[in-house]
Amino acid sequence: MTIEIPEKGMAKEKIMQTLRAYKGEDLDWQSGKVMGYVYDAGEKAMEVIKEAYTMYLSENALDPTTYPSLLRIENEVVRMIANLLRGDEHVVGNFTSGGTESLILAVKTARDMMRVKKPEIKEPEMVLPITAHSSFYKAAHYLCVKPVIVPVLDGSFKTDIAAMRDAITENTILLVGSAPGYAHGVVDPIPEIAQLALEHDLPCHVDGCVGGIHLSYMRKMGYPVLEFDFTVPGVTSISADLHKYGYAAKGASVVLYKNQEIRRYQMFACSRWTGYTVINPAVTSSKTGGPMAGAWAVLKYLGDAGYQKIVKEVMDATQLTVDGIDKIDGIKVLGRPDMCMFSFASTSEKLNVYRLADRMKTKGWFLQPQFARNNSPSNLHVSFNRLSVPRAKEFLVILEQTVAEVMAEEVDDKTGELRAEIGKLSINFDDESFFKLAEMAGITGLELPEKMETINQLLEALPYDVSEFMLVEFLNNLMK
């Protein structure tokens, strides 16, 4: 089917009708059954965000001299989050489009600062635990920094500090910890990582993208929270996403630095071309002021009291769910989650968690599959959100039933067979190998597959470079 720009413009109603029909294909994120991606503070907050967002939809944050109000809004958002993370008056930062942009900038800043401090480093490396977010690999890929991966400890999923110490070389430019890591919701031993950074005169980034805001409110409310913010000696930068548990609309994060001397390495200026003068703090140039205004508005609208109310509701429901899961025969929660995100794994040979995820999906529940890596087994992830609070008990009932259903079925574990086949294939990254593997996995056509069980098993079993090659090919075919 060819799709072209219509010769004559369409009526607004028809446009909206079409979009609504498209949307019908998506998971219903408002159902409370989608246990990932959803961060919602309720209808009233959404109204405020939408109004502020659209008020700044056409304003361009590229140029603070034309739109000084956006500079003011950005500075105010940064100050609010810097205070929440207990930064002093020297802490500075910027608004970005999301966690990934914040992390790319944190890595670039460390790399460029260390280029000046240690010009002898020609092949920069950053040391991070296996639980650190994939965006660090993207940053590494874009910025030619080598990621040096260290394991996490058995059972706790916290960075192995001895291994991190051993991984530091004369090429190291950055140490990384997460508060918390996405997969297990576990906060790394940030004071120890930062101490290592101090000993080696290195920057230390804390990835607080998903947890920075939520954990800070937990701390203020008296929950036991491990130290992770600017009060920890040695922490030089922190990222915190407003569009996750900060409840802003998508496209909102901040990256903060201990001081301006460090942050200056993030900036980019260009006055040597024929066009307008460019001076950017972040990766993007032209950008709508919408997300900034929306984030500013939601911080002001919810206030400390609003955030604390949500944190309490979500934490109560998380506790109930975690306790409930541990009582279900066949599954167990991994580690001791520090906030409202966690994952659970199978304790029985009869239960394949990827099949469980597929089956839960047919019942309208979305759980996120995560592969076995290092000492973390195959598991399903839950990021608990406010909309799921009233459904926590129902979730446990359905989960228990579904686990029992799947365990009663014939085990159809293709992993062994797949591994044997993979061993036989000469995978030389040509189209033929890709199609053979794709066929084995059940990714046959050019559409999104319904059942993910075999695909997940295959992707989990393949060597990383092969699975990544397959994923790239898959997306390259899927996207027009």
Ligand X SMILES: Cc1ncc(COP(=O)(O)O)c(C=O)c1O
Minimum Å gap between C-beta 37 and ligand X is: 9
* Residues whose CB is less than 8 angstroms from the CB of residue 331 and which lie 6 or more positions away in sequence, other chains included: 325, 344, 345, 346, 347, 351, 353, 399, 403
Under the binding rule (CB under 6 A), the answer on residue 379 touching ligand X is no
Q: Which residue is nearest to ligand X (CB)?
A: 99
Minimum Å gap between C-beta 212 and ligand X is: 9
- Nearest Cα neighbor of 245 from 384, 61, 416 is 384
Task: Give the C-alpha separation, 317 to 300, whole Å.
Answer: 26
Q: How far apart are the first and last CA of the chain?
A: 12
Minimum Å gap between C-beta 241 and ligand X is: 5
Minimum Å gap between C-beta 101 and ligand X is: 7
Under the binding rule (CB under 6 A), the answer on residue 321 touching ligand X is no
**Cβ of 229: how many Cβ atoms within 10 Å?**
23
**Neighbour-count burial for 37-52, b at 16+ CB within 10 Å, e otherwise:** ebbebeeebbebbeeb
Considering only 34, 70, 82, 100, the residue that binds ligand X (CB under 6 A) is 100
Under the binding rule (CB under 6 A), the answer on residue 290 touching ligand X is no
Under the binding rule (CB under 6 A), the answer on residue 35 touching ligand X is no
Are 255 and 94 in contact by the 8 Å Cβ rule? The answer is yes
Peptide bond into 291 cis (omega under 30): no
For ligand X, the closer CB: 315 or 427:
315
Under the binding rule (CB under 6 A), the answer on residue 94 touching ligand X is no
For ligand X, the closer CB: 49 or 443:
49
For ligand X, the closer CB: 207 or 358:
207
For ligand X, the closer CB: 207 or 338:
207
Considering only 178, 288, 370, 454, the residue that binds ligand X (CB under 6 A) is 178
Minimum Å gap between C-beta 9 and ligand X is: 34
Under the binding rule (CB under 6 A), the answer on residue 210 touching ligand X is yes
Minimum Å gap between C-beta 369 and ligand X is: 15
For ligand X, the closer CB: 212 or 289:
212
Considering only 53, 56, 95, 182, the residue that binds ligand X (CB under 6 A) is 182
Tell me which stretch binds ligand X (CB under 6 A): 82-90, 94-102, 265-273, 409-417: 94-102
Minimum Å gap between C-beta 181 and ligand X is: 6
Under the binding rule (CB under 6 A), the answer on residue 133 touching ligand X is yes
Minimum Å gap between C-beta 207 and ligand X is: 5
Per-residue mark of binding to ligand X, 134-153 (x: CB under 6 A): -x------------------
Pairing of strands 146-150, 125-129: parallel
For ligand X, the closer CB: 126 or 441:
126
Burial class (CB within 10 angstroms; exposed 0-12, middle 13-18, buried 19+) of 332: middle
Minimum Å gap between C-beta 99 and ligand X is: 2
Compute the Cα dihedral for 125, 164, 169, 130 and give only its sign: negative
Minimum Å gap between C-beta 164 and ligand X is: 18
Size of the site for ligand X (CB under 6 A): 12
Per-residue mark of binding to ligand X, 222-241 (x: CB under 6 A): -------------------x
For ligand X, the closer CB: 55 or 283:
283
For ligand X, the closer CB: 100 or 236:
100
Task: Give the C-alpha separation, 326 to 396, whole Å.
Answer: 10
Among positions 241-280, residues that touch ligand X (CB under 6 A) are 241
Considering only 32, 93, 98, 294, the residue that binds ligand X (CB under 6 A) is 98
For ligand X, the closer CB: 132 or 438:
132
Find the helix packing angle between 392-408 and 290-327, rounded to 10°.
Answer: 60
For ligand X, the closer CB: 368 or 467:
368
Minimum Å gap between C-beta 134 and ligand X is: 8
Sort residue 19 into left (φ over 0), alpha (ψ -120 to 50) or beta.
Answer: alpha
Considering only 207, 338, 358, 453, the residue that binds ligand X (CB under 6 A) is 207
The structure tokens listed for 147 are 């990621």
Under the binding rule (CB under 6 A), the answer on residue 209 touching ligand X is yes
**Neighbour-count burial for 288-325, b at 16+ CB within 10 Å, e otherwise:** bbbbbbbbbbbbebbeeebbeebbeebbebbebbbebb
For ligand X, the closer CB: 182 or 434:
182
For ligand X, the closer CB: 148 or 283:
283
Binding site for ligand X (CB under 6 A): 98-100, 103, 133, 135, 178, 182, 207, 209-210, 241
